[in-house]
Amino acid sequence: MAVPGKVAAFHLPPLPTVGEIIKLFRLKAQKQLSQNFLLDLRLTDKIVRQAGELKNTHVCEVGPGPGGITRSILRAGVEQLLLIEKDARFIPGLQMLSEAAPGKVRIVHGDILTYKMEKAFPKHLKKNWEDEPPDIHIIGNLPFSVSTPLIIKWLENVSKKDGPFIYGRTQMTLTFQKEVAERLTANPGGKQRSRLSIMSQHLCTVENCFVIPGQAFVPKPEVDVAVVHFTPLVQPKIQQPFELVEKVVQSVFQFRRKYCFRGIETLFPESGRLKRTEQLMMTANVDPTLRPAQLSMSQFRNLCNTYRKMCDEDPSLFVYNYREELRQRKMRNSCKSTSQSEQTEEENHL
């Protein structure tokens, strides 16, 4: 858990307010990019405090937009601030902030989903995975459309210790829709327990810090927003490859309102499905009548470990895709019905 840090260790010279920057450069939030601006610097300071002590650290801010959180990060006394912004309209306003903090800010006009974070920070900041987290932080008010694919990508990076986690257990402080934040932090039995809960909690300590009401943003979104802090664990709770864990977890939650047995069945081809499903659940010691949201982390670990052994014995299991089997079956049925229809038409013609 991050210890909230202090803001205002560095004083920026007088600058236009964030609202004035928006007017000056005629910036409008684009709905298709799910952009929402946070103008209240008390709230941006509060977000930055959740990251912990930032003095003399290196920070990457994702999607700074008009620069509200950027100002709070700079005032926390960071050594270096890397800004990654996809929307070119915000670059001039960010350059104004960069000039106000000489030598501290680097701006990258690019997409965080494709940006190579392995070279984002100096090599001397690297720490061993078992050590305390490095003096590197990722902070961002994420657009809703990007937040889920981005956190899944970063969780995979945590699992493989690459991307921004090549430097060690880099901490992240990010915003999500309140409902997504609840999924990330949900406990077994909770109504928001989901694939995101397992994928995040088996790799990180995840803390739902506080909620920001929707009316604090411009334009006001239809939902509230939550700030979530992530610290990668030294040892993941499920010590299997990311792809295998994701496949098992996705399968279990595929039919979230049915017994978990129904979802686990989809890990296996139709031929021998029932027998293999029973074998997996019996070996993993999981009650087949539990709902997916009721399964504990240790039960998911048992399922993943047992499935891994079954895949080692039969490598074709891991490449099996239930949805692809359904698609091919539909195509066969469609071709069959078309053929029968053509035959009926021919008989009628005769």
Give per-residue pLDDT as tens, 76-101. 999 999 999 999 999 999 999 999 99
Average pLDDT over residues 195-217: 96
Distance CA 60, CA 193 (A): 30
- pLDDT at 328 (0 to 100): 83
pLDDT above 70 covers a percentage of the chain that reads: 87
pLDDT at 25: 57
Q: Give residue 36's pLDDT.
A: 79
Mean pLDDT of 2-20: 64
Instruction: Answer yes or no: is pLDDT of 28 > 80.
Output: no
36 marked as part of a ligand binding site? yes
User: Which residue matches tokens 């997409």?
Assistant: 111
pLDDT exceeds 90 at position 32: no
Is the predicted pLDDT of residue 127 greater than 90, yes or no?
A: yes
Contact 217, 141 (CB under 8 A): no
Q: Is 79 annotated as a binding residue?
A: no
Which superfamily does 242-325 belong to? rRNA adenine dimethylase, C-terminal domain (1.10.8.100)
Reported as a pLDDT band with limits 50, 70 and 90, residue 169 is very high
165 has a pLDDT exceeding 80: yes
User: Using an 8 Å Cβ cutoff, are 52 and 3 in contact?
Assistant: yes
* pLDDT value of residue 323: 87
pLDDT in tens, 308-336: 999 999 999 999 999 888 888 788 776 66
Could you give the residue range(s) of every CATH 1.10.8.100 domain in the chain? 242-325
Predicted pLDDT of residue 24: 62
**Residue 187 structure tokens:** 């406990």
Strand partners, 137: 59, 171
146 pLDDT above the threshold of 70 = yes
Per-residue model confidence (pLDDT) at position 77: 96
Pick the CATH number of 24-232 from 2.40.110.10, 3.30.379.10, 3.40.640.10, 3.40.50.150: 3.40.50.150
Instruction: Tell whether 111 is in a known binding site.
Output: yes
Q: Which of the pair, 14 or 103, is modelled with greater confidence?
A: 103
What mean pLDDT do residues 284-288 have? 97
* pLDDT category of residue 350 using cuts at 50, 70 and 90: very low
- For the residues 38-51, what does the mean pLDDT come to? 95
CA–CA distance, 238 with 251 (Å, rounded to integer):
16
**Does the structure show a pLDDT above 60 at 33?**
no
**Nearest-angstrom CA–CA distance, 287 and 299:** 9
Task: Judge whether residue 182 has pLDDT over 50.
Answer: yes
Span(s) in the chain for CATH 3.40.50.150: 24-232
SS3 of residue 267 by DSSP: helix
Element (H, E) at 311: helix 297-313
Neighbours of 56 (CB within 10 A): 12
Q: Would you say 97 is a known binding-site residue?
A: no
What does the pLDDT read at residue 174? Answer: 98
Among 54-63, 226-235, 264-273, 333-342, which stretch is predicted with the lowest mean pLDDT?
Answer: 333-342
| Closest C-alpha to 206, from 222, 217, 193 | 193
Per-residue pLDDT band for 218 (boundaries 50, 70, 90) equals confident
CA distances from 125 to 169, 200, 311 (A): 11, 25, 39
Spatial CA neighbour of 45 closest among 230, 176, 173: 173
Q: What is the mean pLDDT of the chain?
A: 90
Burial of 42 (0-12, 13-18, 19+ CB in 10 A): exposed
Average pLDDT over residues 36-54: 93
Q: Report pLDDT for 342.
A: 53
Cβ–Cβ under 8 Å, residues 3 and 51: no
Q: For the ranges 11-20, 252-261, 320-329, which has the lowest average pLDDT?
A: 11-20
Q: Return the closest-CA partner of residue 292 out of 323, 274, 266.
A: 266
